[in-house]
Amino acid sequence: MTSITLFLILITLSSLIIPYFHLPLASSSLISPPSNQGQWNLLQPTIGISAMHMQLTHNDKIIIFDRTDFGPSNLPLSNGECRMDPYDTALKTDCTAHSVLYDIYTNTFRSLTIQTDTWCSSGSVLPNGTLIQTGGFNDGERRIRMFTPCFHENCDWIEFPSYLIERRWYATNQILPDNRVIIIGGRKQFNYEFFPKTITSSESSPSSIHLPFLQETNDPNENNLYPFVHLLPNGNLFIFANKRSILLDYKQNRVVKEFPEISGGDPRNYPSSGSSVLLPLDENLNSIEAEIMVCGGAPRGAFEEASKGNFIQALNTCGFLKVTDSNPNWIMKNMPIARVMGDMLILPNGDIIIINGVELGTAGWENGRRPVLTPVIYRSSVTVTESQRFSIMQRASRPRLYHSSAVVLRDGRVLVGGSNPHVNYNFSGVEFPTDLSLEAFSPPYLSPEFDPVRPIIRHVTSYILGYRVFYYVTFTVGKFGSASDVSVRILAPSFSTHSYGMNQRMVVLKLIGVTEVNFGTYYATVVGPSTQEIAPPGYYILFLVHEGVPSSGTWVQLM
């Protein structure tokens, strides 16, 4: 691994005026010829478990887990160990693994041990790189578990029983600017709480905080689980549940604003599982804008219809809401393919990929039909014309339905795994067998035809000048005549489950200048994020993008 990890210092001196000249803003000028639709590769035919939840770590491994009460998985625990769990609903003695650690560069994996049920849970990586996973089902519903990445091979999960104040099953987590994690909602939980637990002066033990919005958005099929949560540059949380969305000031438990309902009025959260991203925040703009993109899902009533064997067409719309506008309204656009249970990920060049899922039915056991095998890429750049926004990618061979997941890797590939719409692992006599494989999709920008413009990060340095901290990035951009159309971006890797990437965010750093130091070698001078609300402390992947083609990324720690 050649990544250079440095300590970058977050500057909060946004009022400082630094003389600089502007280069053109980042634009994805990459237009793929129709023949280039990316490429699929099978990485592992089986990792022994089905990838229901995934998190990339800053040492390029992926923590993967599903649930303990699927019964036996296809991977034994190491050293013949067994787990004794009198509460497990499937196996009281279980000698198989329900979690693995996958190593991207050696393409190998090893089993990890979880003691209690992690089914439909949530997670966030803390600023120091430790993953905290929260909740689950049954004996796991109030647990938290920690996994600290290690370079040796014996790190494993550590569990903390009864940590959570409430049961958290289908909750959403968001890392906060002050290093805490907020854990929001979950089944029959119309409230939120924090990690670590905070005690206010007026109470002796911590309690969760009621959020009526979650109750109001709970319809007969729920449709408000795994709410979409995005931390906005002003420090408030955007929360989308069912068809409604609010701005929450969590510090004062105050709903600052309610936005209009998403056009069409159909639900977008589990089990009507659409997905959502905060589009890249751009520090090069005079005043920072934040725009939410919500795509796909299932129409109201789809869950009931599916239980009667009637699998109705998923939604084919994406809604865009510029939440920093004073009176924003949803702008709707049509995707080329209707989709429910699609994962949305921010690619290194700022484009959005929508991958996995089905065209008919909804989330939940046995509820999906007609898998959508083709990912779609949405080009988010302002310079792209509307007719060029969406493009259809290469077809995958494996359906990824309920309980599948997807993450972006440092090298720009998208790794997908999972799919198990059945109560147990089931490999025969079913239309969509449980899938234990891992595959990678290489978006068009990875094609060798773009090598002539592909930038390479040589090294990253931080330089302190007075109170300001600049991040100096030296890079080589190959044999071409100009350094125009360059941007430097950081991406927080997401905790992926149930078609939603928690904590995912990209910030386009303020570009001060690009200087040629040698033929084809340049320095790009960029400034770190201006506030912790724009980019909370933690590990990010830094990418350099030139003419829409990203470099391979480098891990940086923002602190």
Ligand X SMILES: *[C@@H]1O[C@H](CO)[C@@H](O)[C@H](O)[C@H]1NC(C)=O
Contact status: 509 vs ligand X (CB under 6 A): no
**Residue pair 414/353 in contact by the 8 Å Cβ criterion:** yes
Give the total residue count for the chain.
Answer: 559
Contact status: 148 vs ligand X (CB under 6 A): yes
Contact status: 426 vs ligand X (CB under 6 A): yes
Minimum distance from CB of 129 to ligand X (Å)?
6
Nearer residue to ligand X within complex by CB, 131 or 229: 131
Contact status: 430 vs ligand X (CB under 6 A): yes
Helix (H, G, I), strand (E, B) or coil at 444: helix
* CA neighbor of 492 nearest in space, from 397, 410, 375, 380: 410
**Residue pair 398/45 in contact by the 8 Å Cβ criterion:** no
Contact status: 429 vs ligand X (CB under 6 A): yes
Nearer residue to ligand X within complex by CB, 5 or 130: 130
The contact mask relative to ligand X for 271-310 (x = CB under 6 A, - = no) is: ----------------------------------------
**CA 291 from centre of chain:** 16
Minimum distance from CB of 157 to ligand X (Å)?
12
DSSP code for 313 = B
Which span sits near ligand X by CB under 6 A: 32-40, 239-247, 412-420, 426-434?
426-434
Nearer residue to ligand X within complex by CB, 193 or 547: 193
Nearer residue to ligand X within complex by CB, 390 or 432: 432
Strand partners, 540: 556
Give the footprint of ligand X on residues 8-47 (CB under 6 A): none
C-alpha distances in Å from residue 16, one per residue of 11, 59, 490, 530, 532: 10, 35, 22, 10, 16
Nearer residue to ligand X within complex by CB, 59 or 394: 59
The contact mask relative to ligand X for 125-144 (x = CB under 6 A, - = no) is: -x-xxx--------------
Minimum distance from CB of 466 to ligand X (Å)?
31
Hey, CA dihedral for 334, 442, 547, 23, is it positive or negative? positive
Minimum distance from CB of 161 to ligand X (Å)?
15
Nearer residue to ligand X within complex by CB, 25 or 146: 146
Q: What is the DSSP string of 148-185?
A: ---SSS----EEETT-SSS--SS-EEEE-TTS-EEEE-
Contact status: 198 vs ligand X (CB under 6 A): no
Query: Please, what is the end-to-end C-alpha distance for the chain in angstroms?
Result: 23
Give the footprint of ligand X on residues 386-425 (CB under 6 A): 424
Minimum distance from CB of 130 to ligand X (Å)?
4
Minimum distance from CB of 525 to ligand X (Å)?
31
Q: Which residues touch 128 (CB under 8 Å, ≥6 apart)?
A: none
Contact status: 72 vs ligand X (CB under 6 A): no
Helix (H, G, I), strand (E, B) or coil at 307: helix
The residue type at 414? V
Phi-psi region of 163 (alpha: psi -120 to 50; beta: other; left: phi over 0): alpha
Pairwise CA distance, residues 459 & 475, whole Å: 7
Minimum distance from CB of 159 to ligand X (Å)?
12
Contact status: 150 vs ligand X (CB under 6 A): no
Contact status: 89 vs ligand X (CB under 6 A): no
Minimum distance from CB of 131 to ligand X (Å)?
10
Minimum distance from CB of 158 to ligand X (Å)?
8
* 550, two tokens: 């990203």
Pairwise CA distance, residues 436 & 417, whole Å: 7
Q: Which residues bind ligand X (CB under 6 A)?
A: 126, 128-130, 146, 148, 424, 426, 429-430
